[in-house]
Amino acid sequence: MKKIHYKLKRLHLFVKELREMKPVTDKKTFWKFIWAIIVTTPQNIQRGNVNAAFDKMIGEKCVFKVCGKSVILDGKWLGYAMGSYIRPDYFLPPHFVLKPGMTVVDLGATAGDFAILAALVCDRVIAVEAKADSVEEMKKNAELNQCSDKIIAIHGIVGPKSGFSTDTEKGGEGEIFRKHLENNPPMPPHISLNDLLSRYNIDKVDFLKMDIEGSEFDLFSRDTEWLPKVDKIAAEVHSKFGDLNLLAEQLRKHGFEVSLVVDKGKTTVYGIGKELLYARRV
Protein backbone atom coordinates (compact mmCIF):
# COMPACT_ATOMS: atom_id res chain seq x y z
CA MET A 1 0.00 0.00 0.00
CA LYS A 2 2.84 2.38 0.88
CA LYS A 3 4.50 1.63 -2.47
CA ILE A 4 1.30 2.50 -4.36
CA HIS A 5 0.90 5.71 -2.34
CA TYR A 6 4.53 6.62 -3.09
CA LYS A 7 4.06 6.10 -6.85
CA LEU A 8 0.80 8.08 -6.88
CA LYS A 9 2.46 10.96 -5.08
CA ARG A 10 5.33 10.96 -7.56
CA LEU A 11 2.82 10.92 -10.43
CA HIS A 12 1.00 13.91 -8.91
CA LEU A 13 4.28 15.81 -8.55
CA PHE A 14 5.31 14.94 -12.09
CA VAL A 15 2.04 16.30 -13.51
CA LYS A 16 2.64 19.48 -11.49
CA GLU A 17 6.15 19.76 -12.93
CA LEU A 18 4.83 19.28 -16.46
CA ARG A 19 2.53 22.27 -15.92
CA GLU A 20 5.53 24.29 -14.76
CA MET A 21 7.55 23.07 -17.75
CA LYS A 22 5.15 24.44 -20.36
CA PRO A 23 5.85 28.18 -19.81
CA VAL A 24 9.64 27.73 -19.97
CA THR A 25 9.89 25.57 -23.10
CA ASP A 26 8.81 26.16 -26.67
CA LYS A 27 5.76 24.25 -27.92
CA LYS A 28 7.79 21.69 -29.88
CA THR A 29 9.90 20.75 -26.87
CA PHE A 30 6.90 20.44 -24.58
CA TRP A 31 4.80 18.29 -26.91
CA LYS A 32 7.76 16.12 -27.93
CA PHE A 33 8.24 15.28 -24.26
CA ILE A 34 4.53 14.59 -23.78
CA TRP A 35 4.68 12.22 -26.76
CA ALA A 36 7.82 10.57 -25.36
CA ILE A 37 5.93 9.92 -22.11
CA ILE A 38 2.97 8.43 -23.99
CA VAL A 39 4.99 6.05 -26.16
CA THR A 40 7.05 4.84 -23.19
CA THR A 41 4.06 4.34 -20.88
CA PRO A 42 4.64 0.57 -20.39
CA GLN A 43 8.26 1.13 -19.30
CA ASN A 44 7.25 4.06 -17.10
CA ILE A 45 4.65 1.98 -15.29
CA GLN A 46 6.99 -0.97 -14.91
CA ARG A 47 9.89 1.09 -13.56
CA GLY A 48 7.86 3.57 -11.55
CA ASN A 49 9.63 6.54 -13.18
CA VAL A 50 9.81 8.36 -16.51
CA ASN A 51 13.46 7.67 -17.32
CA ALA A 52 12.42 5.92 -20.54
CA ALA A 53 10.74 9.14 -21.68
CA PHE A 54 13.91 11.11 -20.95
CA ASP A 55 15.89 8.53 -22.96
CA LYS A 56 13.45 8.99 -25.83
CA MET A 57 14.33 12.69 -25.94
CA ILE A 58 18.02 12.04 -26.67
CA GLY A 59 18.90 13.64 -29.99
CA GLU A 60 15.93 16.00 -29.93
CA LYS A 61 16.49 19.75 -29.99
CA CYS A 62 15.05 21.29 -26.82
CA VAL A 63 14.47 25.03 -26.41
CA PHE A 64 14.03 26.68 -23.01
CA LYS A 65 12.89 30.25 -22.36
CA VAL A 66 14.49 31.50 -19.16
CA CYS A 67 15.46 34.96 -17.86
CA GLY A 68 14.37 36.45 -21.18
CA LYS A 69 16.80 34.20 -23.07
CA SER A 70 16.40 31.09 -25.24
CA VAL A 71 18.65 28.17 -24.35
CA ILE A 72 19.08 25.26 -26.79
CA LEU A 73 20.15 21.84 -25.51
CA ASP A 74 20.08 18.27 -26.76
CA GLY A 75 17.28 16.27 -25.17
CA LYS A 76 19.82 14.09 -23.36
CA TRP A 77 20.23 17.03 -20.94
CA LEU A 78 16.51 17.59 -20.40
CA GLY A 79 16.60 16.20 -16.85
CA TYR A 80 19.43 18.56 -15.87
CA ALA A 81 17.68 21.49 -17.54
CA MET A 82 14.55 20.81 -15.51
CA GLY A 83 16.62 21.28 -12.35
CA SER A 84 18.16 24.54 -13.60
CA TYR A 85 15.21 26.09 -15.45
CA ILE A 86 11.93 24.57 -14.33
CA ARG A 87 12.12 23.98 -10.56
CA PRO A 88 14.60 25.85 -10.40
CA ASP A 89 17.03 24.58 -7.78
CA TYR A 90 19.49 27.46 -7.78
CA PHE A 91 17.11 30.44 -7.82
CA LEU A 92 14.64 29.69 -5.03
CA PRO A 93 15.40 32.66 -2.68
CA PRO A 94 14.31 36.07 -4.05
CA HIS A 95 17.81 37.59 -4.23
CA PHE A 96 19.28 34.66 -6.18
CA VAL A 97 19.04 35.90 -9.75
CA LEU A 98 21.41 36.24 -12.69
CA LYS A 99 22.01 39.78 -13.94
CA PRO A 100 24.07 41.49 -16.65
CA GLY A 101 27.55 42.39 -15.46
CA MET A 102 27.90 39.42 -13.13
CA THR A 103 30.84 37.03 -12.90
CA VAL A 104 29.63 33.47 -12.27
CA VAL A 105 31.54 30.36 -11.18
CA ASP A 106 29.90 26.98 -11.76
CA LEU A 107 31.48 24.04 -9.92
CA GLY A 108 30.09 20.74 -11.14
CA ALA A 109 28.87 22.18 -14.42
CA THR A 110 28.01 18.88 -16.18
CA ALA A 111 27.19 19.83 -19.80
CA GLY A 112 26.63 23.47 -18.98
CA ASP A 113 22.87 23.79 -18.50
CA PHE A 114 23.37 26.40 -15.74
CA ALA A 115 26.61 27.83 -17.15
CA ILE A 116 25.10 28.53 -20.57
CA LEU A 117 22.13 30.38 -19.09
CA ALA A 118 24.57 32.37 -16.95
CA ALA A 119 26.69 33.19 -20.02
CA LEU A 120 23.65 34.39 -21.97
CA VAL A 121 22.62 36.71 -19.12
CA CYS A 122 25.89 37.65 -17.40
CA ASP A 123 29.33 38.83 -18.51
CA ARG A 124 31.65 35.97 -17.59
CA VAL A 125 31.40 32.32 -16.52
CA ILE A 126 34.06 29.95 -15.22
CA ALA A 127 32.66 26.40 -15.40
CA VAL A 128 34.50 23.44 -13.87
CA GLU A 129 33.49 19.83 -14.53
CA ALA A 130 35.20 16.59 -13.51
CA LYS A 131 34.01 14.42 -16.41
CA ALA A 132 36.03 15.02 -19.57
CA ASP A 133 33.20 14.00 -21.91
CA SER A 134 30.82 16.43 -20.19
CA VAL A 135 33.34 19.25 -20.65
CA GLU A 136 33.35 18.57 -24.40
CA GLU A 137 29.54 18.52 -24.40
CA MET A 138 29.55 21.85 -22.56
CA LYS A 139 31.78 23.39 -25.21
CA LYS A 140 29.46 22.12 -27.96
CA ASN A 141 26.43 23.49 -26.12
CA ALA A 142 28.16 26.84 -25.69
CA GLU A 143 28.82 26.98 -29.44
CA LEU A 144 25.22 26.01 -30.15
CA ASN A 145 24.03 28.90 -27.99
CA GLN A 146 26.64 31.32 -29.38
CA CYS A 147 28.15 32.12 -26.00
CA SER A 148 31.55 30.40 -26.22
CA ASP A 149 33.26 33.77 -25.77
CA LYS A 150 31.75 34.11 -22.29
CA ILE A 151 32.41 30.61 -20.91
CA ILE A 152 35.73 29.19 -19.81
CA ALA A 153 35.11 25.42 -19.57
CA ILE A 154 37.65 23.62 -17.40
CA HIS A 155 38.24 19.91 -16.85
CA GLY A 156 39.08 19.45 -13.20
CA ILE A 157 38.06 18.94 -9.59
CA VAL A 158 37.94 21.95 -7.29
CA GLY A 159 38.59 21.46 -3.61
CA PRO A 160 41.33 20.94 -1.05
CA LYS A 161 40.95 17.17 -1.31
CA SER A 162 38.93 15.54 -4.05
CA GLY A 163 35.64 16.75 -5.45
CA PHE A 164 33.63 13.57 -5.35
CA SER A 165 33.29 13.14 -1.56
CA THR A 166 35.79 13.20 1.25
CA ASP A 167 34.92 9.75 2.57
CA THR A 168 34.39 7.29 -0.26
CA GLU A 169 33.72 4.49 2.22
CA LYS A 170 30.33 6.08 2.83
CA GLY A 171 29.37 5.19 -0.73
CA GLY A 172 26.40 6.86 -2.37
CA GLU A 173 26.69 9.31 -5.25
CA GLY A 174 30.24 10.32 -4.36
CA GLU A 175 31.47 6.74 -4.53
CA ILE A 176 29.64 6.10 -7.81
CA PHE A 177 31.15 9.30 -9.21
CA ARG A 178 34.66 8.27 -8.10
CA LYS A 179 34.31 4.91 -9.85
CA HIS A 180 33.03 6.63 -12.99
CA LEU A 181 36.14 8.82 -13.10
CA GLU A 182 38.46 5.89 -12.50
CA ASN A 183 36.82 3.88 -15.29
CA ASN A 184 36.67 6.79 -17.75
CA PRO A 185 40.13 8.36 -17.97
CA PRO A 186 41.66 10.85 -18.00
CA MET A 187 41.29 11.56 -14.31
CA PRO A 188 40.62 15.26 -13.78
CA PRO A 189 43.37 17.44 -12.34
CA HIS A 190 42.86 18.90 -8.86
CA ILE A 191 42.36 22.66 -8.90
CA SER A 192 42.55 25.09 -6.00
CA LEU A 193 39.76 27.66 -6.10
CA ASN A 194 42.26 30.24 -4.84
CA ASP A 195 44.50 29.47 -7.85
CA LEU A 196 41.56 29.40 -10.25
CA LEU A 197 40.37 32.90 -9.31
CA SER A 198 43.93 34.20 -9.39
CA ARG A 199 44.60 32.64 -12.81
CA TYR A 200 41.65 34.46 -14.38
CA ASN A 201 42.08 37.70 -12.38
CA ILE A 202 38.72 37.39 -10.67
CA ASP A 203 38.33 39.79 -7.73
CA LYS A 204 34.62 39.16 -7.21
CA VAL A 205 32.33 36.17 -7.77
CA ASP A 206 28.77 37.45 -7.92
CA PHE A 207 27.20 33.99 -8.05
CA LEU A 208 28.81 30.67 -7.11
CA LYS A 209 26.76 27.64 -8.15
CA MET A 210 27.94 24.31 -6.81
CA ASP A 211 27.19 20.59 -7.04
CA ILE A 212 30.43 18.77 -6.25
CA GLU A 213 29.22 15.45 -4.88
CA GLY A 214 30.12 15.88 -1.22
CA SER A 215 33.43 17.72 -1.30
CA GLU A 216 31.71 21.00 -0.38
CA PHE A 217 32.52 20.19 3.25
CA ASP A 218 36.26 20.18 2.52
CA LEU A 219 36.02 23.20 0.25
CA PHE A 220 34.53 25.42 2.95
CA SER A 221 36.58 24.06 5.85
CA ARG A 222 40.07 25.17 4.77
CA ASP A 223 42.04 27.18 2.19
CA THR A 224 39.17 29.68 2.11
CA GLU A 225 41.09 32.82 1.13
CA TRP A 226 38.77 32.98 -1.90
CA LEU A 227 35.58 33.14 0.16
CA PRO A 228 35.56 36.94 0.84
CA LYS A 229 35.37 37.42 -2.94
CA VAL A 230 32.01 35.60 -3.15
CA ASP A 231 28.66 37.38 -2.91
CA LYS A 232 26.14 34.54 -3.31
CA ILE A 233 26.36 30.75 -3.13
CA ALA A 234 23.71 28.30 -4.34
CA ALA A 235 24.73 24.70 -3.77
CA GLU A 236 23.31 21.22 -3.87
CA VAL A 237 24.75 19.69 -0.70
CA HIS A 238 25.15 16.09 0.42
CA SER A 239 24.66 15.51 4.15
CA LYS A 240 25.92 11.95 3.81
CA PHE A 241 29.42 13.42 3.74
CA GLY A 242 29.22 16.06 6.47
CA ASP A 243 27.20 18.17 8.90
CA LEU A 244 25.00 20.71 7.08
CA ASN A 245 24.44 22.80 10.21
CA LEU A 246 28.19 23.02 10.81
CA LEU A 247 28.71 24.00 7.18
CA ALA A 248 26.06 26.72 7.50
CA GLU A 249 27.71 28.00 10.69
CA GLN A 250 31.11 28.19 8.96
CA LEU A 251 29.58 30.36 6.24
CA ARG A 252 27.85 32.60 8.78
CA LYS A 253 31.23 33.24 10.41
CA HIS A 254 32.41 34.47 7.00
CA GLY A 255 29.60 37.04 6.84
CA PHE A 256 26.89 35.12 4.99
CA GLU A 257 23.19 34.84 5.66
CA VAL A 258 22.48 31.12 5.17
CA SER A 259 19.33 29.13 4.51
CA LEU A 260 18.91 25.40 3.96
CA VAL A 261 16.20 23.64 1.98
CA VAL A 262 16.32 20.04 3.11
CA ASP A 263 13.83 17.76 1.35
CA LYS A 264 15.73 14.58 2.10
CA GLY A 265 13.32 11.70 2.60
CA LYS A 266 10.44 13.54 0.95
CA THR A 267 8.84 12.21 -2.21
CA THR A 268 9.71 14.09 -5.39
CA VAL A 269 9.41 13.39 -9.09
CA TYR A 270 12.88 11.88 -9.01
CA GLY A 271 12.49 9.91 -5.78
CA ILE A 272 14.29 11.28 -2.74
CA GLY A 273 14.41 15.05 -2.41
CA LYS A 274 17.45 17.27 -2.74
CA GLU A 275 19.33 19.24 -0.11
CA LEU A 276 20.09 22.81 -1.10
CA LEU A 277 22.10 25.56 0.58
CA TYR A 278 21.85 29.28 -0.15
CA ALA A 279 24.29 31.83 1.26
CA ARG A 280 24.17 35.59 0.67
CA ARG A 281 26.73 38.09 1.92
CA VAL A 282 25.20 40.64 4.28
pLDDT digits (tens, 9 = 90+) for 8-49: 666 666 777 788 889 999 999 999 999 999 999 998 888 777
CB 196 within 8 A of CB 107: no
92-148: pLDDT as tens digits: 888 999 999 999 999 999 999 999 999 999 999 999 999 999 999 999 999 999 999
How many residues can be counted in the chain?
282
Q: How far apart are CA 260 and CA 272, in angstroms?
A: 16
pLDDT of residue 86: 83
Share of residues in the chain with pLDDT > 70 (%): 81
Determine the pLDDT at residue 165.
41
Q: For residue 235, what are the β-bridge partners?
A: 210, 277
One-letter identity of residue 39: V
Going by pLDDT thresholds of 50, 70 and 90, the confidence category of residue 204 is: very high
Virtual torsion, Cα 155, 161, 162, 168, nearest 10 deg: 180
Return the H-helix or E-strand segment holding 238. none
Strand ranges inside 211-254, DSSP E: 232-236
Residue spans of the domains in the chain: they are 1-82, 89-281
Q: What pLDDT shows up at residue 168?
A: 42
> Of residues 268 and 85, which shows the higher confidence score?
85
* Contact present, 108 and 211 (Cβ < 8 Å): yes
Distance of CA 67 to the CA centre of its chain: 17
Which candidate, 188, 97, 172, 96, places its Cα nearest to that of 134?
A: 188
- Report how far residue 40's alpha carbon sits from residue 235's, in angstroms, rounded to the nearest whole number: 33
pLDDT, the chain, mean: 85
Q: Which of 151, 155, 145, 156 is nearest to 200 (CA)?
A: 151
Angle at CA 237, nearest 5°, toward 109 and 180? 55
pLDDT top residue among 222 and 161: 222
pLDDT at 263: 67
Superfamily of domain 89-281, CATH level 4: Vaccinia Virus protein VP39 (3.40.50.150)
Residue 8, pLDDT score: 64
Q: How far apart are CA 281 and CA 204, in angstroms?
A: 12
Give pTM, 2 decimals: 0.85
Task: Give, in order, the Cα–Cα distances in Å from 45 to each of 48, 51, 56, 255.
Answer: 5, 11, 15, 48
pLDDT digits (tens, 9 = 90+) for 150-202: 999 999 988 654 444 444 444 444 554 556 556 666 678 888 899 999 999 99
How far, in whole angstroms, is CA 154 from its chain's centroid? 16
Q: How many CA atoms lie within 13 A of 76 on its CB side?
A: 10
